[in-house]
Amino acid sequence: MSIDQVNASESVIDSRGYRANVGIILSDAGGRLLWARRAGKNGWPVPQGGLQPQERPGEALFRGLAEENGRGAGQVGILCNTEGWGDYHLPGRFRRGRGAH
């Protein structure tokens, strides 16, 4: 299944407060993974990005990667992707904007 065959919700944030989002794990030809920390922060995020309205997951993946890592679609390839959506609970103290408690 290709990444764009996974259907995203029409809405950016669903009724439960979840946002359709892609997370990207980068590896090189030797199998080494990118592991980076934001300057001045304690977290170790992977490149990621929320889907914009009407955007396909593959489009969001390459847009997010370019925005956060400077890599373009011609510089990377997709090895695999999940076959469906997963979700996780983001504690209120980490939420911005809508839904922050």
Distance CA 83, CA 99 (A): 27
The one-character DSSP state at 73 is: G
Q: Which residues of 5-38 are buried (b: 16+ CB within 10 A; e: fewer)?
A: ebebeeebeeeeeebbbbebeeeeeeeeeeeeee
Q: Residue 99's pLDDT is what?
A: 47
Q: What is the pLDDT of residues 15-33, one digit of tens each?
A: 777 778 888 888 888 989 8
Q: Residue 30's pLDDT is what?
A: 92
Q: What is the pLDDT of residues 33-56, one digit of tens each?
A: 888 777 888 877 777 878 888 888
How many residues can be counted in the chain?
A: 101
Q: Is the pTM of this model over 0.85?
A: no
Q: What is the pLDDT of residues 53-71, one digit of tens each?
A: 888 888 888 988 888 888 8
In CATH, which of 3.40.630.10, 3.40.50.300, 3.90.79.10, 3.40.50.10950 is domain 1-85? 3.90.79.10
51, 48, 47, 49: which is closest to 7 by C-alpha?
A: 51
